[in-house]
Structure 1
Amino acid sequence: MKKILIVDDEPRTRQGIRKTLEAWSSGDHQIETASSGAEALAWLERNEANLLVTDIRMPEMGGLDLVEKLNGMAKPPVVIVVSGHPEFDYAQRALQLGVVEYLLKPLDKNKLLRAVEQALKREGDLHRIGRMEKLVDSKLLEAGEQENRFSPPVRETLKYLDERLHEPVSMRDVADHLHLNASYFSVLFKEQTGLTFSEYLTRRRVQRAKELLMNTRLPISEIAERVGYQTAKYFVKVFRSLESVSPGQYRQSVAETEETIQ
């Protein structure tokens, strides 16, 4: 259930927006309200919101000041601002802060609902992008983008490793498979991929582990085995060295709803 926080110091406007969104939502979204920027900030320090609908002009802390504070959060909500004043400076600052919509009072209910639907869609897109950024290893991505330029032995190596991530594989094993001198192969691989053989293999194993952590509920010990580590303890050490979090913490950070877990 997505959460929408409405912030406005005018009770009539605040309750009007709430009633409109509750009727539109039919219970599918949790609608919360705050009567000031300070109250909203306190609520957001304890809770997450997917969407913030806030008035601009409020005593003590205006809507844009609130948005500026929220931009430092790990997962800030997307924002719609509401204003009774069509002032260019407000609109310009709202744009700079990444606000997705700027609505003028008196609010047109249909425009409000269209803005909310678009904002929640954008929030979903940003969430998916954030998940993908957590999933993809940038160095592997760079190497993958150059793969069509790799020599046949290096391309064969990447395929060979992908099929054997669950097995103990050494650089000499691969060099022997390719009928190449191990020293020559080591230099060739690093020259073309930008990574040593050992670094590539480790990153590829952690990449596969991240996919399993995100998309399954397999225990950490089984994931460790599936990506070629004989002990879960060593797997956790390697994973943490690359991702700065444990596998369990990573899984929690990218967790979706129960229905999406396979």
Structure 2
Amino acid sequence: MIPSKRILIVDDEPRSRQGLAKMLEAWSAGRHRIRTADNGYEALRILESEPVHLLLSDIRMPEISGLQLAGSGERVSWPNQPAVILISGYAEFEYAQKAIELGVTRYLLKPVSREKLLDAVERALETEEQRSRLGLIEKVADPQLLTAAVHQLAVSEPVEEALRYMDEHLHLPFTLREVAEQIHLNASYFSVLFKEQMGMTFSEYVTRRRLQKAKEMLLQTRLPIAEIAERAGYQSAKYFSKIFKEYEGTSPGAYRSET
């Protein structure tokens, strides 16, 4: 089931707005939070101040239209980029064409049946969820690790075994020598072999993997930073924050709040 989402309904017609809200509240049964706004300015205030996952808006409204909301240049500063469903009482081609150009998920015509509305909402929320996952992957991705993953396709069996061991024990402190012993290689030879096959040193790989794991926890959990540091294999939260800032250019707390 898709986790709890915020759905914003924007319509200047009270009966239409209330009707849509009533249908979605009955369908949601408390799973999602349904918000309403009776004009574009109020909608923008909500979109700028809290994460909205689905924007359901009438196209034709005074001053700020649904199309303008969907194409707002302010979207980059919103806490979340919502999927968009536009509703119109006008079956005019230029509206639908413009909606498509703006990346609108669905375009519905009034009067909207309950079946069509709920089908569009469910599909739009699935689209938003997939987009959020991709955004998370892009945010935590490390270009150097992606390059290393390509190298990993052709590594020798000892290095492959070492990589498995390291990934399984990232939450624990370990040294190059200890990993070398696990795969029955001389530490000096293993160090040279690892860099040759992975394109980076052992210590850099471990640091980048631990930071990647920490970034995932920062974005996906509300765990305290000290606990995240420990789970990522750092015995000191202060040292973790120092390394994090060196690699990411910001502190763990700022990284989390920027999302």
Given the two structures, how large is their TM-score scaled by the length of structure 2? 0.79
Q: 1:247, 1:19 → 2: CA distance? A: 41
1:167·1:227 contact (CA, 8 Å) conserved in 2? no
Paired residues for 1:151-166 under 5 Å: 151-165=156-170, 166=172
User: Within 2, Cα distance between the matches of 1:213 and 1:79?
Assistant: 28
Instruction: Evaluate the alpha carbon distance shift between residue 33 and residue 131 of structure 1 in structure 2; reply closer, same or farther with a 3 A threshold.
Output: same
Q: Does 1:7 align with 2:10?
A: yes
Worse overlay, 3-12 or 130-139:
130-139
**Aligned residue for 2:52?**
49
Query: Is 2:162 the counterpart of 1:150?
Result: no
Give the alignment of 1:126-145 within 5 angstroms: 126-145=131-150
2:33 match: secondary structure: strand
Q: Do residues 39 (structure 1) and 45 (structure 2) align?
A: no
Residue 120 of structure 1 is matched in structure 2 by 125
Question: Compared with structure 1, are the counterparts of its residues 180 and 15 closer, same or farther at alpha carbon in structure 2 (3 Å cutoff)?
Answer: closer
Equivalent of 1:71 in 72, 75, 83:
75
Alpha-carbon distance, 1:74 to partner:
4.4
1:66–1:206: structure 2 CA closer, same or farther, 3 Å change rule?
same
| Contact in 2 for aligned 1:56/1:83 (Cα 8 Å) | yes
RMSD: 3.1
The alpha-carbon distance between structure 1 residues 115 and 130, as it changes in their structure 2 partners (threshold 3 A), is same
Deviations 1:110-162 (A, max 9, x none): 21121112212222333333334444434323422442311334324423433
Contact kept, 8 Å, 2:48 with 2:79, in 1: the verdict is no
Unmatched 5+ residue regions in structure 2? none
- In 2, the alpha carbon distance for the partners of 1:213 and 1:47 equals 19
State the secondary structure of the residue aligned to 2:8.
strand
1:178 corresponds to: 185
Q: Indicate if the aligned counterparts of 2:51 and 2:79 stay in contact, CA closer than 8 A.
A: no
Q: 1:60 to 1:238 in 2, by over 3 A?
A: same
How far off its partner does 1:225 sit?
A: 4.2
Q: 1:61 aligns with which of 36, 40, 64?
A: 64
Gaps of at least 5 residues in structure 1 are 255-262
Partner residue of 2:27 out of 24, 27, 37: 24
State, as a whole percentage, how many aligned pairs show the same letter. Answer: 54
